[in-house]
Structure 1
Amino acid sequence: MKILIIGDRHVGGYGLTAGQISFIGHFIRQINETGRAVSVEAYVQSTLSAVQATLAHLPLERYDLILVQAGQGCLDHPAGLGALFAPDNDTLPDLSGDLILPDCLQVTKKVRSDGILDHVVKIGQFMLLKGLTALGKLPRQRIVQRELTNVLTVLKPHRHKVILLSPFPHREPVHQWLRQQGRSLFMRSEVRQAFSVFDSDAVVKPRDEYFLTNDSGHLNAIGHELVGRALFDFYLAAPTIVAIHSIRRS
């Protein structure tokens, strides 16, 4: 069984220590326990546009299962809040890693030591983003919706073997709210009718016990295991996944 996985740094188990495995590792381990031999091809991309470019150059018909995890660049861009106001994603550099935009595009800089001031600024950011979203004036949201549509267009001929993973949660409130906006794009009825969509938010919550210490954006070993096991259960139950029939027969 050949599996393709495209996602953010969670795919490789970012931040985990030796002996700990990512959610993909847990997922594959459970498939192996059914007696199936599995080979995995993995790509780490932080934006949906990069995911689309990768998919377009791969022989998708050769894979038995395709997992696409909406990475951290789904809406809360790894380059910072400034990227939310970029007029067009095509004008940005390669964003496959955690890059920093030029100062002129940054909304804030993390140089404050005053906790109260930092809290007030975050509240201001939160209110601004919610207001712009309500008015349909947040450029990045429109771009992400277009990017997702392009990704789904590439995947549509293979949708019978595709699982989409909604964005993982984030402990920081502004980023978490943005990821919820990204999640809503994946949970739309027209997407769920065409594809099997795994709702990551239903498995892990933005709480300390699921995240790395001093890292509000990456899951720890507990979070990875919960996602991996839940993903396998979802895989077994997903009605559109043709590949599962061979496991059930075994």
Structure 2
Amino acid sequence: MKILIIGDRHVGGYGLTAGQISFVGHFIRQISETGRAVSVEAYVHSTLSGVHSTLSQLPLERYDLIVVQGGQGCLDHPAGLGALLVRNTDNLPDMSGDVILPDWLQPIRKTEPSGLLNQLSKMGKLLLVKGLVAIGQLPRLHTVRHELTKLLTLLRPHRHKVIVLSPFPHREPIYQWLRQQGKSLFMRSEVRQSFSVFDSDAVVQPREEYFQTNKPGYLNAIGHELVGRALFDFYLAAPTIVAIHSIRRS
């Protein structure tokens, strides 16, 4: 069984320590335990446009299963909040994988105020972003909608073997809210009628027990295991996945 998996840094288990495996590892382990020989091809991208670019160059008809994770770049691009105002993500570096980028490509990191000022700052940013969405002035949201439509159009001929994961939660309120906006695009009825869409929020919530201590946007080992096991259960039950029948027969 040949599986293609593409998504953000979670695919490679970013931030996990030696001996810990990502949700992909848990998912593949579960499939292997059914007795099937499995080969995996994985790619990491931080934007949907990057995912589309890679998929458009691959022989999708040769895979038995395609798993697409709508990752961190779905709406909250790692280049920071300023990226929300950029319409075309081709203008932004695709900060994916664990590559060490040169300083001039690194996102600008400012020292945040502490205590009450920090909370007020975060609240102000969240209110600003919500206001921009309310008046239809958040370009990134329109870009992501276009990127997702383009991606799903590419995958549509193979939809019987595709699982799409909604964006994982984030512990920071503003990014969690943004990811919820991205999730709403994945959970639209027209998407779920054509594709098997895995709702990540139904498995992990934005609480500290599921996330790495110093990386509030990345799942820890517990979060990865929960997602991997739940994804396998979803895979077995997904009505559009043709490949599951051979597992059930075995």
Q: Same fold judged by TM-score > 0.5? A: yes
> Mapping of 1:38-57 within 5 angstroms?
38-57=38-57
One-letter amino acid matched to 1:68: V
**Deviation, structure 1 residue 101:** 10
Contact (CA 8 Å) 1:83, 1:101: kept in 2 or not?
Answer: no
> Mapping of 1:146-157 within 5 angstroms?
146-157=146-157
Aligned counterpart, 2:17: 17
Aligned counterpart, 1:170: 170
For structure 1, the 5+ residue unaligned runs are: none
> Mapping of 1:1-250 within 5 angstroms?
1-96=1-96, 109-250=109-250
1:29-70, Cα deviation, whole Å (9 max, x unpaired): 111111001000000001000000000000000000000001
**Deviation, structure 1 residue 102:** 7.7
**Deviation, structure 1 residue 100:** 9.9
Aligned length: 247
Contact (CA 8 Å) 1:79, 1:101: kept in 2 or not?
Answer: no
Distance 1:139 1:100 in 2: 27
Distance 2:91 2:16 in 1: 34
**Deviation, structure 1 residue 137:** 1.1
Contact (CA 8 Å) 2:4, 2:41: kept in 1 or not?
Answer: yes
Distance 1:179 1:171 in 2: 11
**Deviation, structure 1 residue 93:** 3.5
For structure 2, the 5+ residue unaligned runs are: none
Contact (CA 8 Å) 1:203, 1:226: kept in 2 or not?
Answer: yes
| 228 and 94 in structure 1: CA distance in 2 versus 1, 3 angstrom threshold | closer
Runs of 4+ in 1 over 6 A off after TM superposition: 98-103
Distance 2:187 2:145 in 1: 12
**Deviation, structure 1 residue 94:** 3.6
1:159-194, Cα deviation, whole Å (9 max, x unpaired): 000000000000000000000000000000000000
Contact (CA 8 Å) 1:80, 1:100: kept in 2 or not?
Answer: no
TM-score normalised by L of structure 1: 0.94
Distance 1:113 1:229 in 2: 39
Contact (CA 8 Å) 2:85, 2:138: kept in 1 or not?
Answer: yes
Contact (CA 8 Å) 1:69, 1:167: kept in 2 or not?
Answer: yes
Distance 1:187 1:32 in 2: 29
TM-score normalised by L of structure 2: 0.94
Distance 1:9 1:91 in 2: 20
**Deviation, structure 1 residue 206:** 0.3
Percent identity for Structure 1 against Structure 2: 75
